[in-house]
């Protein structure tokens, strides 16, 4: 018998992947979690039937959440990751020696637990002594910490289920307040083919709060449309003003100093969404 | 009953789209052709069960085949399109007033016929008086024309079926000879996630023939992995030396003067394939 996992990315379109084995299928307190072994993408974590990460293509998302902001801020000592319980963003953050402490707040401890067990190449750095892992509500954490972080990264699920609040204007205001006076935040903001409205709304909201707002893209094959956007809000530093020749060459597979500026040059139809 | 078309992009991965209606399903002399109405992507042309183009996302591929080369060559008067019977590349070529004549050579007249009937927004310019449409063998046409074209665009299917020869070194040598002394060619060269070997091979072959070889990418949601590569070989003009501020703003949805250089900045794992 052939088993295939199909994610309906819209009502009438999806991706489908052949499955060798199901390691975990569990309704947690927050979402439907599955850890499956696919032939094409290796081990895959899904939440509410949406692909969160796979061993084969995870590097794109995790690198592109972490590095553009960390190479824009000149001294990112304190970093917060909201969501991201699989640990992939933390792994990339740990590549920056300037980071003294990174706090990860994920609402679902099961994501952390199963990622450590089944996704060791992704979650390995969650045990780094520079990392503090908190199982808790990122929205609350943001509102309880003022002037605390240099960089905040929002590695949320899509705006359904537990992550709805993480796309609200109140959340972005909370992030602004939780950042230091020269802080930067970045959030994954879905894809422009099926979620153009979301990108427009987030962009408008963030622009009302942050003086510098930039959007960049990356190709993530297992995410809807393969084209993902990230929205950066900054109080002081502009990623487009960074001297890319001064960025060191990290051990990465997608991000590079050369890509730092190019990633912000958007296809025209995306550019038009965030004008 | 719900009908879904599934393209197995690899043995163990694919995309799936809900189908409202099947207009055409026909074994032509060269391939299995289907024209179907999908809910997500509008009318879709498939050849041998592979998505060739859809009304919703076709602009990316067609703009990105045509404009980078046409804005690199200072005087592209004579253009050849090999394949591309749907007419999308020709439509973009016709946006360049410097082009006096564009020749399209597609081996399968049925693709042209059904595209005119079911994809009028894509095929409309095939009747432009500046266009000559030839139903014939592109490989032969190339070898029968020497020093004839300023720009040659290879809009082929994947390297299976009738297009196998269009990825051979002999074909690239033929293209070199069919180009004038300052000519440029561009070919679609598949995706780096599943076809890394192909990209490496083509790059190596083209570098042995053309002094200037550049690779660029675009996001095409309905193509495998969503990330597509294009390989450009040039005798004289370097796309990276183009003054992008002098590129006019065409009526496009993906390509822009701003994207001209950025599209050539590759994700690091792609960069490593073509070093």
Of B131, B114, B67, nearest to B95 by C-alpha is: B67
Query: What average pLDDT is seen over chain B?
Result: 96
Total of domains in chain B: 2
Angle among Cα A239, A240, A241 to the nearest 5 degrees reads 90
Q: What is the pLDDT of residue B237?
A: 98
Structure tokens at A35: 């850890």
- b/e for B100-128, b at 16 or more Cβ within 10 A? eebbbbbbbbbbbbbbbebbeebbbbbeb
Task: Look over chain A and give the mean of its residue pLDDT values, rounded to a whole number.
Answer: 96
Q: Is A143 in the same domain as A246?
A: yes
Task: Assess whether A81 and A208 both reside in one domain.
Answer: yes
Question: Average pLDDT of A64-81?
Answer: 98
Position of tokens 């399903």? Answer: B25
**Domain check: are A29 and A79 in the same one?**
no
Instruction: Report which of residues B160 and A49 the model is more confident about.
Output: A49
pLDDT of residue A210: 98
Query: What pLDDT, on the 0 to 100 scale, is given for residue B23?
Result: 98
- Which of B54, B72, B92 marks a domain boundary? B54
Structure confidence by residue, pLDDT tens digits, A199-217: 999 999 999 999 999 999 9
Among this protein's residues, is A243 annotated catalytic?
Answer: no
- Residues B116 and B134 placed together within one structural domain of the fold: yes
The pLDDT of residue A165 is 77
Digit-coded pLDDT (tens) for A106-140: 999 999 999 999 999 999 999 999 999 999 999 99
Q: Which domain holds residue B238?
A: 58-274
- Tell me which residue of B73, B263, B94, B59 sits closest to B184, measured CA to CA: B73
Q: Residue B16 and residue A18: Cβ atoms within 8 Å?
A: no
Greatest C-alpha distance within chain A: 58
- pLDDT of A166 reads 76
pLDDT confidence of residue B230: 98
The C-alpha of A248 sits at a distance from chain B's nearest C-alpha, in angstroms, of 14
- Dist CA A265 CA B141 (whole Å): 38
pLDDT of residue B162: 67
Q: How confident is the model at residue A167 (pLDDT cuts 50, 70, 90)?
A: confident
CA-to-CA distance for A122 and A27, rounded, in angstroms? 22
**Closest partner residue to B13 among A17, A258, A262, by Cβ?**
A17
Q: Are residues A111 and A138 in the same domain?
A: yes
Task: Looking at the structure, tell me whether residues B197 and B120 fall in a common domain.
Answer: yes
Q: What is the pLDDT of residue B160?
A: 67
B48 & B64 share domain: no
Across the interface, do A258 and B265 touch by the CB < 8 Å criterion? yes
Half-sphere exposure at residue B231, Cβ-oriented, CA atoms within 13 angstroms: 28
Residues A21 and A118 placed together within one structural domain of the fold: no
Does one domain contain both A239 and A138? yes
Give the closest-approach CA distance of B43 to chain A in angstroms.
14
DSSP string covering A125-181, please? GGG-TTEEEEES-HHHHHHH--S-EEEEEEE---SSGGGGGGGSHHHHHHHHHHEEE
> Does the CA dihedral B70-A269-B192-B32 come out positive or negative?
negative
pLDDT band at B165 (very low <50, low <70, confident <90, very high): confident
The pLDDT of residue A164 is 75
Is the pLDDT at B181 greater than 80? The verdict is yes
Quote ipTM for the complex.
Answer: 0.96
Whether residues B76 and B36 share a domain: the answer is: no
The contact set of A with B (CB < 8 A) is: 6, 10-18, 38-41, 57, 60, 193, 217-221, 225-227, 252-256, 258-259, 261-262, 265-269, 271
Mean pLDDT of A212-236: 98
B219 closest CB neighbour out of A11, A41, A219: A219
In chain A, the percentage of residues whose pLDDT exceeds 70 is 98
Using the beta-carbon criterion (under 8 Å), do A193 and B221 form an inter-chain contact?
A: yes
Domain stop point among A14, A38, A54: A54
Last residue of a domain, one of B54, B72, B93: B54
Asked whether residue B182 is marked as a ligand-binding residue, the answer is no
Q: Do A6 and B18 touch (CB under 8 A)?
A: no
Work out the average pLDDT over A50-74: 98
* Interacting residues of A243 by C-beta distance below 8 A, sequence separation 6+: none
Q: What is the CATH classification number for the domain harbouring B244?
A: 3.40.50.150
Do both B10 and B78 map to the same domain? Answer: no
Chain B CB contacts of A254 below 8 Å: 267-269
Does one domain contain both A267 and A173?
A: yes
Domain with A37 in it: what CATH number? 2.30.140.10
Mean pLDDT calculated for residue range B158-175: 81
């Amino acid at each position: 018998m052939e088993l295939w996992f199909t994610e309906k990315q819209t009502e009438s379109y999806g991706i489908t992947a052949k499955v060798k084995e199901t390691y975990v299928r569990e309704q947690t307190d927050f979402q439907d979690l599955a850890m499956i072994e696919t032939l094409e993408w290796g081990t895959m974590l899904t939440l509410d039937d949406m692909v969160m990460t796979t061993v084969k293509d995870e590097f794109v998302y995790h690198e592109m959440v972490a590095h553009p902001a960390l190479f824009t801020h000149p001294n990112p000592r304190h970093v917060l990751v909201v969501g991201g319980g699989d640990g992939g963003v933390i792994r990339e953050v740990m590549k920056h020696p300037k980071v003294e402490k990174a706090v990860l707040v994920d609402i679902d401890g099961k994501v952390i637990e199963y990622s450590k067990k089944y996704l060791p190449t992704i979650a390995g750095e969650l045990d780094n002594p520079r990392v503090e892992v908190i199982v808790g509500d990122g929205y609350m954490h943001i509102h309880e910490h003022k002037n605390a972080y240099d960089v905040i990264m929002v590695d949320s699920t899509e705006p359904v289920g537990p992550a709805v609040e993480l796309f609200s204007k109140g959340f972005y205001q909370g992030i602004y307040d939780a950042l230091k006076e020269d802080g930067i935040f970045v959030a994954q903001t879905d894809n422009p083919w099926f979620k153009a409205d979301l990108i427009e709304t987030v962009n408008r909201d963030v622009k009302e709060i942050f003086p510098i707002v930039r959007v960049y893209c990356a190709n993530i094959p297992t995410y809807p449309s393969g084209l993902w956007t990230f929205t950066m809000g900054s109080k002081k530093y502009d990623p487009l003003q960074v001297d890319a020749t001064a960025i060191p060459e990290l051990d990465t597979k997608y991000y590079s100093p050369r890509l730092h500026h190019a990633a912000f040059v958007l296809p025209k139809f995306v550019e038009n969404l965030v004008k």
